Each structure stands twice: as C-alpha cells, then as structure tokens.
Amino acid sequence: MDEQIRRWEILKKEREREVQLPVLTLSREAGSKGTRLAELLAEDLGFDLFHQNIVHRMAESAKLSARLIESLDEEGMSIVKEWLTGFSEGFWPDQYLKQLVKVVGTMGKQGRAVIIGRGAHFILPLRRCFRVRVVAPAKMRIAQLAEEHELSKPEAERLMVKTDSERRAFIRQHFHTDIADPHNYDLVLSMERLSLQNAVQTVRSCMERLAQEQR
C-alpha cells in the first residue's frame, strides 16, 4: 500500500486535471473465474488491480484511508467530499462504509484501476467507471471451486453458496440493492462458453467503444 500511495503522489504531479482516467469494477459469482478475468484485464489494460481483500483492509484502517485521501489534489478532495455527502443522509450503518467510500473514491479519482468486489460500482459515478458482472452455471462453478481449493464437490457447493450469500448480504446491507440485478452493470458476462481471452477482448472492446461515445 505504501508503494501504491507513492505512485499516486507521483502521478498527481504529472497528470492533467482535464483527463478522466477510467476504472473497471468487477463483481462476480463464486467460482465464475471472475478473479482471474480481473487479473488478465488489469494486465491487458495496464491498470492497477485491487482485490476486494485489499480494498477491505484499506477501508478498515482509518489511518491508511487518510493517507489515501491526502494523495489527491484539491479537485479530487472535493469530489470525494461530494460522494460522501451524497451517501451520508441516513445511510451509514457504521464507519466502515464511510471509509470504504473514501478508499474507492480515491481509486476512482486516480483512475486506471480494476477493482474487484466491495460494491465499488455503487460508489463511483457512472462517468468514472465501467461495471462488469461475471456469472457462470452452478455446475461449472462448483467444479472450478473444487479444483481451486482441492475440495470435494459437496464441499465446493457449500463454499459457493456461502460465498455468494455473504456477497449478496454485504451489498444488500450497505447499498440496499441486489448484487445480481443486471441493471446495476454495463456488461454481464456468462463464462459458460466464453474463454478468458475472449472475455478480456469483449470487455476491452466495450470499454473502448464507450470511451469513444463519451468524447
């Protein structure tokens, strides 16, 4: 995290404020290969990758969140304050969500990031992000989890159900919506027939087309 903050501080001095750099947010079903897809997309696009566990740890630490905010210029500070104001009216169940908005808001301002999970697409303004949801049939996901974690199929199925339930509950609690609602995303990818390489090309093509349309 220290290295990431140093990179952002350097970029702050170099970037032009008029340039809005994109963020790709990726939500995924357990075992859908979404995490691997995010890794490949970050590599293909030349973006920084932030796994949900990283974002979670950053949001848990108020001290670290403050350092992230300090890496922004004055314009970025005002943007994050605007987001916080928009979320603040009776919306905070605890301080965690407030820190989460600060962390994700900072990433959104810095740009060139792939953020996995943590409801990032519900925090960032539409003009700053491209929202992807990755799904797959249950049978395929169970087999994938069994292979990844060296589990039996019944154990993998229990893990799938538990993980999906926890993610659904997190989004419902903090953002009052359904994580599986396709209306919350710009692109929903089913990995039943798509290869990871085809999925990367599809996402990149959609992002490039959207960027052209918004110019």
CATH code at position 28 = 3.40.50.300
Question: What is the domain count for the chain?
Answer: 1
pLDDT of residue 110: 77
Q: pTM (2 decimals)?
A: 0.76
pLDDT digits (tens, 9 = 90+) for 21-31: 589 999 999 99
- Which residues contact residue 120 at a Cβ distance below 8 angstroms, ignoring those fewer than 6 apart? 23, 25, 55, 104, 107, 129
Q: How far is it, in rounded angstroms, from Cα 143 to Cα 87?
A: 39
Question: Domain residues for 135?
Answer: 2-214
Provide the pLDDT for residue 44. Answer: 92
Task: Give the type of residue at 11.
Answer: L
**Banded pLDDT at 18 (limits 50, 70, 90):** very low
Other beta carbons within 10 Å of 138: 14
